Structure 1
Amino acid sequence: MDLRAPLRRLEIFCLVVDEGGVTRAAERLLVVQPAVSAQLRALEKSLGAVLFARSGNTLALTEAGERVYVWAKEVLAGCAQVQRDVDQLAAGQAGSLVVHASMAVGTYLLPPVLTALRADRAGARITVHVGEPAVAIRAAEVGSADFAVTTLLDTPTPETLTSTRLWEEPIVLGVGPNGPAVGESVSLAEIAAMPLVAAPQDVAFDRMLRAQLQRIGAPELDVIIRLGHAEAIKQAAVENGWACLLPSYIIANDPPGRLRGVPIRDAHLVEGIGLYHRPTKYFSPLQQAALDALRARGRERAAAG
């Protein structure tokens, strides 16, 4: 039985839902709109149900469509996982782990944990992809990642995934030798008077940080420039005598005399580190070992904190 046609229809159906309409889905697929519409009609005919209802200028899922969407996501994720497993067996490979992570988590937190794991497993193949949390979570959702580790988002977790808070990382003020003069700790009022380097406003970390500051009624910050990577933020702060608000782990390994982390004495600001995966995901021994190592790391960080 050739399953490629029905699976392709499910992929197109999910893409239409995710992109919010046929037009954007067709643009993503580089095909004309009628081709996408034809696949949707074929899927509806095979299922014997109407999946979409038009609401103004947009398409809305019917009750049947919502049920099929959840099922289709699980089918496609399972297919992706099985294909990866079969490919590994066919190539004589054993022990594969693919993780997607947010930028700072994948740059600073995961490498020590996963390199230690790899050192004990000569045949393991471990890959970490780094990007925005939404991209990482999407990879876990569609099965191209075994799991995702990101800044814990304050938005609802997709129904097809489960999320766990692994641990929290304190957010501190980063200042260089030529930066604002501060002591062993600093207040929010003092920070508000400093020129700051920050992440772009559409980045999950910045959204999470601003939400915490708003909840505690903190004064508005004086952001001079926004840069898209922690290393760029740190470099700009050091070279220009500015400051920055970052999780402590990003600053911890900086050379002496470059950037130091100063605790905030009148606020408890943290970055939650979140684990995302499908609840039905089968974890191989290597993948389970990676999860165990991350949870152990979380317990260590919590105890240190």
Structure 2
Amino acid sequence: MDNRISLHKLEVFCAVVEQGGVGRAAAHLYVSQPVVSGHIRSLEERLGVELFHRVGQRMELTDAGRATYQWSRDTLHSGNELDRELAGITGGTTGAVAVATSMTVGSYLLPPILTDFVVANPGARIAAHVFDPNQIWEAITSGLCDLAVPIAPRIPYGRGLTGELVGHQDLVLTSAPDAVDVGDGGIPVSELARLPFVSTPRTSIRRDIEDMAFAELGITDRKVIIEFGHPEAIKHAVRAGLGVALLFRASVAADLATGSLQEIPLADARPRLPVFVVWRADKRLSALQRTLITVIRDALNL
């Protein structure tokens, strides 16, 4: 193998794989198709293997191509991680941090924290990536992101990860205003089974978390009327009176404040889940990354 392989060729190769062809990769990279094809031919020559073979009109990776793609992704992610680490070797006020998070945390909980952090530290570059919950851990182990901030029952330490508990998020039962009579002290958990629910799809990790929370309250069978994959869609259905929903407080705080939704207090329970900051166990955190962890912890008032 010729060791004179540029990172740019690896970027072009990965773009062809991820965009699904030379034409789409060229458009994505804002270059011509012959330029992309030239990089692929050059990479094949320097590696001494064929990376693609044609199946009809499609280009598919060869076995060597699949191995090269994994190596290319790891190399590019490691390079980006090094760039962020070098940028952060300071007093903790400048540099870069890539954060992996889920839809609810990335949409409602983190934005004000990260925004205030950059206002206070103008030299900081923050990139928040929203993933499906089951993809967050891979983003950390691969080096794509430096930190993860998930709401999760636990950290999967067996995957080479470490972290710390930085706070909790209450799960709030909500309904349309006056749709449910909550009385003076809320409703007992035993009443939940009779209520219609708006929830996330049964195949989602978020639904697993919700079902687990209900199971801990002794509710294993409930009536789900409609399912949506985003909290805003769930809230729309709740406001329309289709049912109640169990949502993280961060995602409904504004709605409760304006009165477009009402909270249904539970008289005998307080369901909530921990919020963690997670990173790869063998990763050397930069000063800026350590500073951000402290800021997130303080903001969540653990």
Task: Give the TM-score normalised by the residue count of structure 2.
Answer: 0.70
Residues 179 and 237, structure 1, Cα contact 8 Å, conserved in 2: no
Superposed CA deviations along residues 207-245 of structure 1, whole A, max 9, x for unmatched, are 122123224422511111111111111111001352111
Residues 85 and 95, structure 2, Cα contact 8 Å, conserved in 1: no
Give the 5 Å matches for 1:237-252: 237-252=238-253
1:269 and 2:271 are equivalent in the alignment? yes
Give the 5 Å matches for 1:16-31: 31=60
Aligned to 2:205: 204
1:173 and 2:173 are equivalent in the alignment? yes
In the TM superposition, residue 199 of structure 1 has moved relative to its aligned partner by 1.4
Residues 136 and 148, structure 2, Cα contact 8 Å, conserved in 1: yes
Residues 189 and 217, structure 2, Cα contact 8 Å, conserved in 1: no
Bigger shift: residues 127-136 or 150-159: 150-159
CA distance, structure 2, for counterparts of residue 148 and residue 38 of structure 1? 27
* Unpaired stretches in structure 1, ≥5 consecutive residues: 13-25, 41-68
Aligned to 1:97: 97
Count residues in correspondence.
253
Superposed CA deviations along residues 74-109 of structure 1, whole A, max 9, x for unmatched, are 9886444125557999xxxx5212111111011111
Cα pair distance change 1:186/1:88, threshold 3 Å: same
Aligned to 1:122: 122
CA distance, structure 2, for counterparts of residue 188 and residue 148 of structure 1? 33
In the TM superposition, residue 258 of structure 1 has moved relative to its aligned partner by 0.6
Residues 175 and 238, structure 2, Cα contact 8 Å, conserved in 1: yes
Cα pair distance change 1:38/1:238, threshold 3 Å: closer
Residues 236 and 242, structure 1, Cα contact 8 Å, conserved in 2: yes
Aligned to 1:112: 112
Percent pairwise identity: 28
Aligned to 2:230: 229
Question: Which one-letter code corresponds to 1:172 in the other structure?
Answer: V
**Counterpart pick for 1:296 among 290, 295, 298:** 298
Aligned to 1:35: 64
CA distance, structure 2, for counterparts of residue 38 and residue 177 of structure 1? 56
Cα pair distance change 1:248/1:148, threshold 3 Å: same
The alignment's C-alpha RMSD in Å is 3.8
CA distance, structure 2, for counterparts of residue 180 and residue 241 of structure 1? 12
Aligned to 1:195: 196
Residues 176 and 239, structure 2, Cα contact 8 Å, conserved in 1: yes
Task: Give the TM-score normalised by the residue count of structure 1.
Answer: 0.69
Aligned to 1:278: 280
Superposed CA deviations along residues 126-160 of structure 1, whole A, max 9, x for unmatched, are 12112212222211111111111112155834522
* Unpaired stretches in structure 2, ≥5 consecutive residues: 15-52, 54-58
